[in-house]
């Protein structure tokens, strides 16, 4: 497949299968912050274990398929992999200093950022209606999050971590979308490389941030939730999303992913006792309505 063919495929209007797969990503990623907040281990230790669990599984899948990581893939996954590893460290730290809703505030800003970079990087030129519905969707997501009122809790450090998580995840998202739009990269091969570099990125600061006593504080409950995080939101969700990148424009898929804030806030109620208000329900309806309208809009490049 040529570069032009791959780019054209990525810009066509999505059919039902990529949208269905993206729905599974929304569910798995929406559960991610809620699961992460259940983990009490040191953030860096938690991230190292999370990637130490996912890397062998991905490499095992490649071996079973008769595939392997070559130098070209390792070279291309270096920057997005490091960005993803650092992102997860910030996410773990943020959820120790803030509620799930606060972290979702920063995530909800991603579609707006991508509207500015989608054109120059991917040749995606959203229509004015697309921009309008995206901004309305972001406003709806903000309502879902800020509608928590007094339950919206965060320290200044937590806000800094949440903002850093937004920037590093956007970097990972953009670089992965760029790779999928310019070449036919196998999603499992790509995520195996990503996870290797993410593990390396988490290991580097460990000697400086983790005390000896904190290494042994991971209990059985932490290990259980780390397994769920590694395999459900990690391997399952990110492999599917790397496949979706080949079929749905970045500016569109980031808007659709706003729905994961609804999943996160909804799950945080029974799991972390962060109640859902009527204002949040109305904001969720605005998000879903905006996503539905953008799905109906034809892609333009």
List, in order, residues 6 or more apart from 165 with CB less than 8 Å away: 87, 90, 91, 94, 103, 106, 107
On the question of pLDDT at 10 being above 50, the answer is no
pLDDT score recorded for residue 112:
65
Residue appearing with tokens 């903000």: 142
pLDDT tens digits along 197-226: 999 999 999 988 887 777 677 889 999 999
pLDDT score recorded for residue 196:
96
DSSP assignment of 167-200: HHHHHHHHHHHHHHHHS---HHHHHHHHHHHHHH
List, in order, residues 6 or more apart from 265 with CB less than 8 Å away: 100, 101, 104, 144, 145, 148, 274, 276, 280, 284
pLDDT tens digits along 84-120: 999 999 999 888 887 776 676 666 666 666 666 665 6
Minimum mean pLDDT among 91-105, 138-152, 246-260: which range? 138-152
The pair of structure tokens assigned to 260 is: 């994961």
Radius of gyration, CA atoms only, the chain: 19
* Range among 68-72, 251-255, 277-281 with highest mean pLDDT value: 68-72
pTM of the model: 0.74
pLDDT tens digits along 53-85: 999 999 999 999 999 888 989 999 999 999 999
Residue 251 near residue 126 (C-beta atoms within 8 A): yes
% of the chain residues with pLDDT over 90: 27
On the question of pLDDT at 126 being above 50, the answer is yes
Q: What is the mean pLDDT of the chain?
A: 79
Closest CA to 61 of 198, 221, 239: 239
Looking from the CA of 61 toward its CB, the CA atoms found within 13 Å total: 16
Burial of 65 (0-12, 13-18, 19+ CB in 10 A): exposed
Q: What are phi and psi of 125, to 5 degrees?
A: -120, 90
């Amino acid at each position: 497949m040529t570069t032009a063919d791959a780019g054209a495929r990525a810009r066509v209007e999505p059919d039902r299968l990529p949208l269905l797969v993206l729905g599974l990503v929304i569910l798995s990623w929406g559960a991610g912050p809620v699961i992460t907040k259940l983990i009490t281990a040191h953030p860096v230790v938690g991230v190292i274990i999370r990637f130490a669990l996912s890397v062998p599984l991905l490499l095992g899948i490649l071996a079973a398929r008769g595939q392997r990581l070559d130098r070209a893939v390792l070279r291309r996954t270096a920057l997005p992999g490091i960005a993803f590893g650092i992102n997860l460290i910030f996410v773990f730290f943020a959820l120790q200093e803030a509620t799930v809703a606060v972290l979702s505030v920063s995530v909800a800003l991603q579609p707006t950022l991508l509207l500015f970079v989608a054109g120059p990087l991917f040749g995606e030129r959203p229509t004015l209606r697309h921009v309008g519905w995206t901004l309305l969707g972001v406003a709806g997501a903000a309502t879902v999050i800020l509608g928590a009122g007094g339950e919206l809790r965060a320290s200044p450090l937590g806000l800094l971590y949440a903002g850093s998580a937004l920037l590093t995840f956007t970097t990972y998202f953009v670089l992965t979308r760029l790779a999928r739009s310019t070449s036919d990269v196998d999603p499992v091969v790509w995520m195996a490389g990503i996870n290797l570099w993410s593990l390396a990125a988490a290991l580097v600061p460990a000697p400086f941030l983790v005390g000896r006593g904190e290494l042994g504080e991971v209990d059985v409950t932490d290990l259980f939730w780390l397994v769920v995080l590694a395999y459900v939101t990690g391997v399952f969700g990110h492999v599917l999303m790397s496949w979706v990148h080949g079929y749905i424009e970045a500016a569109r898929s980031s808007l659709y992913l706003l729905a994961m804030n609804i999943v996160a806030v909804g799950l945080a109620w029974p799991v972390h006792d962060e109640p859902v208000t009527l204002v949040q329900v109305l904001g969720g309806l605005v998000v879903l309505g905006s996503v539905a309208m953008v799905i109906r809009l034809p892609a333009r490049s």
